[in-house]
Amino acid sequence: MNARALLFILTLVVCHGTQAEAGVMDRLRGLLSFGGGKSKTEEPKKIMPRIRVGSFSGGTGASAQQALRQELLDSREFFVAGADEKADYLVEGTSSGGRVTGKLRDGKGKDLFQRSYAAPGLDENLKALTDDVIYTITGRPGLATSRIVFVSNVSGKRQIYICDAEGGEVHQVTHDKHGAVAPSLSPDSSMIAFTSYRSGFPIIRLLDLNVGWERGVTDTPGSSFGSAFSPDGTHLAAVMSFIGNPEIFVSDLNTNTAACVSDSVGAPSSPSWHPDGRQIVFSSDDGDGPKLYIVEVPQKEGESSRLYRWRTGYHFCTDPEWSPDGRHIAFTTRTSGEWTVAIKSYPNGGVQVVQAGGAEHPSWSPNGHFITYVQHGELFVHDLRSGNRRSILRGYGHISEPRWMR
């Protein structure tokens, strides 16, 4: 290589490096790490805690014991020990008429919790007990009671639906005149923010799933869409265009005030919060295809914030969503002319293609082990640890925009 070519490459590397963006530097790091050794983001293999399902007394005790064992196995969070095997934790209790009382002890016999579950069905009570066991032992939320919201046109118009993590218990949430789209669940899954077309114009509304009341968040001219709850559920990030440009706004749900956090000349969309509530990733098309940007959310009035492009190595990136631990961002891109779901480590690291062939709009499970997405109108859940995936809802109209509760 001659001296001129070497200097040109050096110039390029220096230029990219000073912009504090990934891209070339990441790709170089990736190339350098091919020689061997673990990547920085790779976690050491963890040993699964061992749990034993003890006896459940009462009329539905035997069914409860069997079903709970299956729920814990399906969670893939534990090694479920047999009756005579040693375990780190023991769960036992009573069940009659579908009600369940569960008690969790550690290996030394210390009580960790005892709770009763009195929902109308045995299955529902056991799912709640499973999630409590998972959260107490691992500190991560379980999926048995988690919900996924999505849009489907099965009724003839695009409306919002909710289902469990297995694609069961599907309920229609909105019945808006011209349809409703772009749903987002609050962190405690008690509220849904969505874009409603009931007035004929796209406005953002909030629906309380427990008591059923609904209220508008934005009724500004232009369009409002792409809402995303902050991790503490007090703020909503969304795209609004009333100022004459589509921009990302953060609305305080208590005071109904909004602040613009982006500075776009193009078409921003799909904001998603970092779990610390201090940064938002979004997609923006400034005329050469949508790319991903990160903006710091000002914590005080008048505070300046940094906005920068986050390079993924792809030219078309939409629907970004931060993982629950903040260490990865999933997004939709395009490979070989088809939609593809990919994940990139944040802030730096390689890109992993999760699913190509038309997969789009990824959303993380609360424990970060799974991703849901749609492919050709079908809803999938993808296990990131094993790489296995399964269709959880098909033949339910054309499904789009799934969001897992956070």
Partner 1 sequence: MNAAPPMMNRPAAILSSTLLSCLLLTSCSSMKMPAFLRNPSSEAVVYALGPRDGFTSPLNGSLKPACPALVFENADFQLTSAHQQAVNSLAQEMIQNKKARLLVAGYTAPNLPPDHARSLSERRALAVRQRLIELGLEAANVQTVGFGNDFSPTGPSSDVVVIYRQN
Residue of the chain from 142, 246, 362, 366 that contacts partner 1 (CB under 8 A): 246
Secondary structure of residue 50 in the 3-state scheme = strand
Which CB sits closer to partner 1, 21 or 166? Answer: 21
- What are the two backbone dihedrals, phi and then psi, of residue 152, each rounded to the nearest 5 degrees? -140, 150
Residue 67 per-residue DSSP state: H
Binding mask 250-279 for partner 1 (x = CB under 8 A): ---------------xxxxxx---------
Site string (221-240) toward partner 1, x via CB under 8 A? xxx-xx------------x-
Of 11, 155, 335, 352, the residue at the interface with partner 1 (CB under 8 A) is: 11
Q: Which is nearer to partner 1, 121 or 156 (CB)?
A: 156
Q: Out of 142, 167, 202, 362, which residue is the one contacting partner 1 (CB under 8 A)?
A: 202
Nearer to partner 1, 190 or 400 (CB): 400
In angstroms, the CA 281 to CA 22 distance is 15
Closest approach of Cβ 288 to partner 1, in Å?
9
Note whether 360 binds partner 1 by CB under 8 A.
yes
Q: Is 245 in the site for partner 1 (CB under 8 A)?
A: yes
Q: Which is nearer to partner 1, 115 or 309 (CB)?
A: 309
Residue from 137, 182, 192, 342 touching partner 1 (CB under 8 A): that is 182
Binding-residue pattern over the window 284 to 303 for partner 1, x denoting contact by CB under 8 A? -x-x-xx-------------
Separation between Cα atoms, residue 49 and residue 70, nearest integer Å: 16
Rounded to a whole number of angstroms, the minimum distance from the CB of residue 394 to partner 1 is: 19
Contacts 24+ apart (CB under 8 A), 191-198: 191/229, 191/233, 192/149, 192/160, 192/162, 193/217, 193/227, 193/228, 193/229, 193/236, 193/238, 194/160, 194/227, 195/224, 195/225, 195/226, 195/227
Q: Spell out the residues 6+ positions from residue 168 whose beta carbon is closer than 8 angstroms to its own.
A: none
Minimum Å gap between C-beta 154 and partner 1 is 15
Residue 133 or 295: the one with the smaller Cβ distance to partner 1 is: 295
Contact string 32-61 vs partner 1 (x = CB under 8 A) = ------------------------------
- Residue 294 pairs with which residues in a beta bridge? 281, 308
| Cβ atoms within 10 Å, residue 155 | 13
Q: Which distant-in-sequence residues (6+ apart) come within 8 Å of 372 by Cβ?
A: 148, 362, 363, 365, 379, 380, 381, 382, 392, 402, 404
Amino acid residing at 256: N
Chain residues that interact with partner 1, rule: CB under 8 A = 3-4, 7-8, 10-11, 14-15, 18-19, 151, 158, 178-179, 181-182, 195, 197, 199-202, 220-223, 225-226, 239, 241-246, 265-270, 283, 285, 287, 289-290, 318-319, 332, 339, 360-361, 400-401
